[in-house]
């Protein structure tokens, strides 16, 4: 009887370990043809080289982490994860980077990707894709601000198309409803849970005043301020973003509580009416997403677990492999 009990206990313990560790690892290969050891022979030090660059850039500018995450997200939601957002516009092509919604993407985020790629070209020329650089660098930057670390699958190729005209409708906007957001995320293969977890990335990073001005001035005919927003918080935002002297360049932290820590404070903020963007605040109010917000607010490890799972899925959207892409030597320019 004792032996049976011990066996059952061991079985439950094994299942528990699987439940805890699965989000942070995966199988050696996935359906997209990616693998953990893709550069094992061609560029064995790829992760160390990228990490060294990332660490240096992070010491120069903390905002690099939030910037890189936002750029990586925007890249994957348009044409899939293929570094098409890094392409510079030319006389004959207006690239993704210059689409209206991408104009506010931060320079520090771009810079860390380009730096890492240049460092790799010195050691492994023409081997590591810009897309894999983005995936690895973003993971490392998030880890530096407190997010859990996960293994990144590799082998993505860089895209061959980058057009500003394809961006609209593919990036979440602050004024969208929960149903609109769910529909958009679903079109990318992401669930409601993934959406709420990825939104937690707003625990770091900044937003420009014009992304929330409509919430703090002339909200509607009944309320001057969005009634779902804490009044003191709204007043503070008004002081930082005065309507009469509006400055598009002013930015405020997405997380008013702990802007320099990757934690679950974002969800606690939403419960208190301290969400900066409307698209964030409504997650705590809509029955479809409210439960997920509450569970992540209550337990940071729950947030971390679901965030990692969602980031892994995000990194597999529209992946190009083989002849479907290229390995750019300069991330800002197509090879041909």
| Helix boundaries (H) for 154-241 | 178-187, 192-199, 213-216, 231-240
Residues 40 and 25: their CA atoms lie apart, in Å, by: 18
Q: How far apart are CA 220 and CA 214, in angstroms?
A: 9
Q: Is 74 known to be catalytic?
A: yes
How large is the C-alpha radius of gyration of the chain?
Answer: 21
For the CA atoms of 125, 84, 157, 32, what is the dihedral angle to 10 degrees? 150
Of the listed 51, 74, 208, 306, which one is catalytic?
74
| Residues 257/267, Cβ–Cβ less than 8 Å | no
What is the H or E stretch that residue 207 is in?
strand 206-208
Which residues fall in the annotated binding site? 75, 78, 80, 82, 84, 96, 172, 202-203, 255, 258, 263
100 DSSP assignment: G
What backbone torsions phi and psi does residue 29 show, to the nearest 5 degrees?
A: -130, 155
Is 167 exposed, middle or buried, given 0-12, 13-18 or 19+ CB atoms closer than 10 A? Answer: buried
Q: Taking Cα atoms as reference points, which of 319, 314, 320 lies closest to residue 71?
A: 314
User: Percent helix, strand, coil in the chain (nearest 5)?
Assistant: 55, 5, 45
Q: How far apart are CA 242 and CA 213, in angstroms?
A: 9
Rounded Cα distance, 9 and 140, in Å: 36
Binding residues for Ca(2+): 75, 78, 80, 82, 84, 96, 203, 255, 258, 263
Is-contact 130 46, C-beta < 8 A? no
Binding-site residues for heme b, in ranges, read 202
**Cα–Cα dist 130/85, whole Å:** 11
Residue numbering of the annotated binding site for substrate: 172
Q: Is 208 in a helix, a strand, or coil?
A: strand
Q: Which residues are catalytic?
A: 74
């Amino acid at each position: 009887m004792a032996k049976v009990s011990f066996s059952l206990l061991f079985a439950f313990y094994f299942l528990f370990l699987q439940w805890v560790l699965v989000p942070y690892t995966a199988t050696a290969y996935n359906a997209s043809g990616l693998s953990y050891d893709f550069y094992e022979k061609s560029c064995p030090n790829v992760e160390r080289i990228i990490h060294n660059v990332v660490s240096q850039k992070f010491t120069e500018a903390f905002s690099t982490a939030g910037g890189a995450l936002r750029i990586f997200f925007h890249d994957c939601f348009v044409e899939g994860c293929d570094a098409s957002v890094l392409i510079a516009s030319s006389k004959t092509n207006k690239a993704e980077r210059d689409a209206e919604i991408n104009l506010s993407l931060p320079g520090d985020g771009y810079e860390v990707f380009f730096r890492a790629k240049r460092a790799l070209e010195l050691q492994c020329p023409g081997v590591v894709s810009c897309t894999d650089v983005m995936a690895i660098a973003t993971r490392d930057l998030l880890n530096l601000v407190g997010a859990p670390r996960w293994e990144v699958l590799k082998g993505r190729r860089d895209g061959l198309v980058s057009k500003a005209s394809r961006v609209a409708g593919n990036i979440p906007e602050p004024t969208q409803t929960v149903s609109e957001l769910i529909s958009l995320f679903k079109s990318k293969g992401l669930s409601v849970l993934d959406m709420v977890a990825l939104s937690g990335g707003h625990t770091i990073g900044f937003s420009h005043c014009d992304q929330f001005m409509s919430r703090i001035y002339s909200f509607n005919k009944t309320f001057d301020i969005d009634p779902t927003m804490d009044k003191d918080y709204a007043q503070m935002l008004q002081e930082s973003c005065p309507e009469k002297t509006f400055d598009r360049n002013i930015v405020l932290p997405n997380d008013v509580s702990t802007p320099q820590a990757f934690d679950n404070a974002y969800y606690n903020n939403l419960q208190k009416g301290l969400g900066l963007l409307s698209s964030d605040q409504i997650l705590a109010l809509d029955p479809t997403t409210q439960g997920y917000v509450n569970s992540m607010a209550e337990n940071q490890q729950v947030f971390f677990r679901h965030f990692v799972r969602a980031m892994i899925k995000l990194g597999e959207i529209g992946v190009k492999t083989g002849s479907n892409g290229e390995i750019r030597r300069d991330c800002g320019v197509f090879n041909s």
